[in-house]
Amino acid sequence: MYVRPAAAATAAFLGLTLTVFGATAASAAPGPDWLSNPIVYAHRGASAYAPENTLESIDRAMTMGFDWVENDVQRTKDGELVVIHDDTLLRTTNVKQVFPDRKSWRIKDFTAAEIRSLDAGSWFGPQFAGARVPTLREYMDRVQRNHQRLLLEIKKPELYPGIEEQTLRVLGETGWLDENHVSRRLVIQSFSSASIRTVHRLRPDIVTAYLGTPAVSELPKYAEFTDRINPWYKTIDGDWVDAVHGLAGAHGKAMEVDAWIVDDAETARQVQDLGVDGIITDKPDVVRNAVGGY
């Protein structure tokens, strides 16, 4: 993710200081190497090294030196937002052992207290026994304590009507909707264009991203309500990335591209050569070593 010349020139013309993750366009004085280094996002935390979407996973990302973490947000039966990827509890918890007689193991059919009783770490390794599925409030407090930044995914919003408003409410109550957080430390993304439109309507100051690979001809309509297009790396080429970069997004700046999920050095370098702004990965150390990201 970098300060493009056009954006920097616009800022200078307006007499503004263009800030990107704490560095100004003037003070950073980026050279070619800096411009080519993508942001590295720890996908579900450092999820190759700790159970995904747990506090342990984002703590591991912190100790490895990564600012940006990614997570997934869903809602319980009694209305609590929790951080978990799948819409069922089967893969990453011991729900089948604790609640063997339930007909469904979907998150939406369990209360927050029931989910809190589950072990979300032993599946990954015995050293993580007792890890829990965190609530969004717990997660935001830990990200704040760790001085990290967050790429937050609203997961399957069609299952949870009103989850956009509720997510924003929790972010506000945990101190994440002030100018500092919104401008430097928060991005909200979703596979649902309707969900991202809703977030943009409710809080047009928040940077948003659409997950997917729209056709080049469709990109202008996405630029009306989002700032980034975040694709699966196998679905893009350099021309597509250039097409995204050639459009101004919802905040009037060149749109960006963060590709997922890249976990090996060779692929990371190939994706970097396409000109992406960020790489989302389970193995942030491997990608950082390969591309010099930060």
On whether the CB atoms of residues 17 and 26 are closer than 8 A, the answer is yes
Catalytically annotated residue among 85, 181, 200, 251: 85
Catalytically annotated residue among 43, 181, 200, 251: 43
Q: Catalytic: 85?
A: yes
Q: Catalytic: 43?
A: yes
On whether the CB atoms of residues 141 and 174 are closer than 8 A, the answer is yes
Q: Across-strand partners of 188?
A: 152, 208
DSSP string of 78-138? Answer: TS-EEE-SSSBSTTTS-HHHHSTT-S--BGGGS-HHHHHTS-SSTTT-GGGTT----BHHH
On whether the CB atoms of residues 274 and 252 are closer than 8 A, the answer is no
How many residues appear in the chain? 294
User: Active-site residues: which are they?
Assistant: 43, 85
